[in-house]
Structure 1
């Protein structure tokens, strides 16, 4: 156990320490500016050279404020401005705009790291995969939990048999969206921009994808219920959502998500011999609680917040670009999450079990 703890934060995925990937950031909201930008600037293998926003004025102003060389508008990006200044594109716009920027990046031969969920609908996600594959560009979906050391150690423990045979999973992700962003007209509450809904698309995806990653199992069927009561959620069906999924090998998963609740994140995996409980699980400071027989233990890595999670994610992506390495969380991996989320919504609307 001591040797395992000594290497807890090690980058087991790293294959190079040399080289630099230059990024263009698209979509200059608070996440891109306050989290993604400093994460890249503090990374080992990346730098931001270009900011892309709705207007040249805004992009240039933010570029000046943050010491970035180029600031261009979306139209200028589509027209190929500053293409010599960056190697890869980070797409952090609202979901329904992802495809058009990936299409332009692919046409310019640029690698792409695209925020999750990868698009607003399965059809648009399928088109993204097709364009990335036809232009042979690297496409990674930004599942930052997959490079979080706690999640990677949890995966190792499951593979080593710590929990025995996995039996069940419980995942929850909730937050008070309107307290965080006091705007009832924000894009996450607009189905034309967010996609199938808000809570599952934006929060539930963490439980679903992290469980897929740790267990290496996909859902085969889903039952679901959801409702919206608050007037701000009148256009989206899932202010509150709960689902029962059957994963491969008969593993049962219960997942809940809400954009209008107390902040809470958890992912608990129970097996025939033990249990791994990540609590809190998402958005930084992931902590692991272990149980097996009479043994219990808790492990935390200090100072690991969302920005550091993003730093790990960007360095992982850069590592793969610089070495032509495999990208597990590629477009097809992200497309499977989109199909799962669509099935969750279909099951809630129909009241039936939906198979995948």
Structure 2
């Protein structure tokens, strides 16, 4: 396959408009050649703005895949639709990048993984932070033992969600846990380089806020990891902007301020008895970084680190947390160890752009 890798964007909503479509021209090894959307008029406007050749409705997706116009698809439709589009794309021989959570059930995620393997294509879960400089620097600090053995992870991630957002709907498996809590789960797993074995969760929902008629506003979770390590996180669609995590070790502490969002600069603080280091990071285009990384994997035939199994690992934790919320009791989790974790070799520093069209 020759550069650039040709992508179809499935779902032309906010994340595609705000982040993915503007990012791809920054990569140098990728381009978008098709948009699949239920809003044909809006998709046509985006296609004209970004010089994209092909626009089609969801019902014409398979016909598009039969043409030689795309090599990979980026799936950014609501969560319950991930499985269907991913399996159809893989069966057509196209590589797949899918937004998180990878699917709404373990059965669907496994079917996506199996379809990719059966058709010899790559499946990547869209974990942009796995290529992000501050995140990788934090993990490198931990691996170097600069704060001793990590014992505790705690995170808070939340904002005020806007009325009408589809992530406030049960039918789309919406809620702060699936949308932003998953970042905290993923971070904890890689901070400890291990899989949680037990989860316990509590939720809160105000009675006088129409945004939370179908979903919980806030969720607090405790995860038990092997070797007497604990992680806790709070995620919410009903609080002032908060975005931070802390790792307490036997010999120091690591603090990441603005650790999860893609539109704010990050600051890494490393505290020990001897020193306090403050390291600031500029904003880089995290979507461009992950697209460039995935395209490189496609071009070289290299399996991406955040593969389908990585998405499945977080999904199984999400399902256990939901079961804990229903039962009021701790729930076991069983995931195999990951073969690898985000590494500095995956780092991408690509410039941001102001060229975007928001409909």
Same fold (TM over 0.5): yes
Check the 8 A contact 2:122/2:303 in 1, yes or no: no
> Which of 240, 244, 259 is 1:281 aligned to?
259
Give the deviation of 1:24 after TM superposition.
0.7
Q: Residues 304-323 of structure 1 correspond to what in structure 2 (within 5 A)?
A: 304=284, 308-323=285-300
Pick which of 41-50 and 122-131 moved more: 122-131
2:229 to 244, 248, 251: 251
Indicate whether 1:227 and 2:211 are aligned: no
The aligned counterpart of 1:192 is 171
Unaligned 5+ residue runs, structure 2? 334-359
Alpha-carbon offset, residue 207 of structure 1: 0.9
Equivalences, count:
328
Match of 2:312 in 1: 335
**2:64 aligns to what SS in structure 1?**
coil
Residues 52 and 31 of structure 1: CA distance in aligned 2, closer, same or farther (over 3 Å)? same
Maintained 8 Å contact 1:155/1:215? no
Deviations 1:111-165 (CA, angstroms, capped at 9, x unpaired): 0010011122333222222222222220000011111111111111111111211
The 8 Å contact of residues 66 and 92 in structure 2, kept in 1 or not, is answered as no
**C-alpha distance 190-121 of structure 1, shift in aligned 2 (>3 A):** farther
Q: Deviations over 1:187-243 (max 9, x none)?
A: 2111221x2x5011001111111221233111110111012223321212x211001
Give the unaligned 5+ runs of structure 1.
Answer: 1-17
CA contact (8 A) 1:78 1:101 kept: no
Partner of 1:295: 275
The separation in 1 between residues aligned to 2:234 and 2:21, in whole angstroms, is 31
- Does the Cα contact within 8 Å between 2:244 and 2:256 map onto a contact in 1? yes
TM-score normalised per structure 2: 0.87
Decide which of 117, 140, 150 is 2:134's aligned counterpart.
Answer: 150
Partner residue in 2 for 1:324? 301
Instruction: Note the C-alpha offset of 1:81.
Output: 5.1
1:301 to partner: Cα distance: 1.7
Choose from 100, 115, 119 the match for 1:131: 115
SS at 2:153's partner residue? strand
Choose which of 209, 215, 218 in structure 1 pairs with 2:186. Answer: 209
Deviations, residues 63-85 of structure 1 (Å, cap 9, x unaligned): 11321111111111123357311
Q: Structure 2 CA distance, aligned partners of 1:118 and 1:295? A: 41
Q: Secondary structure at the match of 2:179?
A: helix
Q: Which moved more, 1:70-79 or 1:310-319?
A: 70-79
C-alpha offsets along residues 49-72 of structure 1, whole Å, 9 cap, x if unaligned? 111111544433321132111111
Is the contact made by 1:96 and 1:119 (CA closer than 8 Å) also made in structure 2?
yes
Q: Contact 2:91–2:116 (CA<8 Å) still a contact in 1?
A: no
Q: CA deviation at 1:316?
A: 0.9
Question: What is the RMSD of the two structures over their aligned residues, measured on CA atoms?
Answer: 1.6
User: Which residue of 176, 189, 200 maps to 2:160?
Assistant: 176
Q: Which residue does the alignment assign to 2:45? A: 61
Q: Using a 3 Å threshold, how does the CA distance of structure 1 residues 228 and 292 change in structure 2: closer, same or farther?
A: same
The corresponding residue for 2:353 is none
The reply to whether residue 116 of structure 1 matches residue 100 of structure 2 is yes
State how far apart, in whole Å, the 2-side matches of 1:83 and 1:74 are: 15
TM-score (norm 1): 0.88
Could you tell me how far 1:324 is from its partner in structure 2? 1.1
Q: Is the 8 A contact 1:246 1:252 kept in 2?
A: yes
The alignment status of 1:105 with 2:82, answered yes or no, reads: no
* One of 219, 230, 233 as aligned partner of 1:241: 219
What is the rounded CA distance, in whole Å, between the counterparts of 2:229 and 2:186 in structure 1?
15
Matched residue SS, 1:161: coil
Displacement of 1:172: 1.3
Q: 2:281 & 2:242 partners in 1: Cα distance?
A: 19
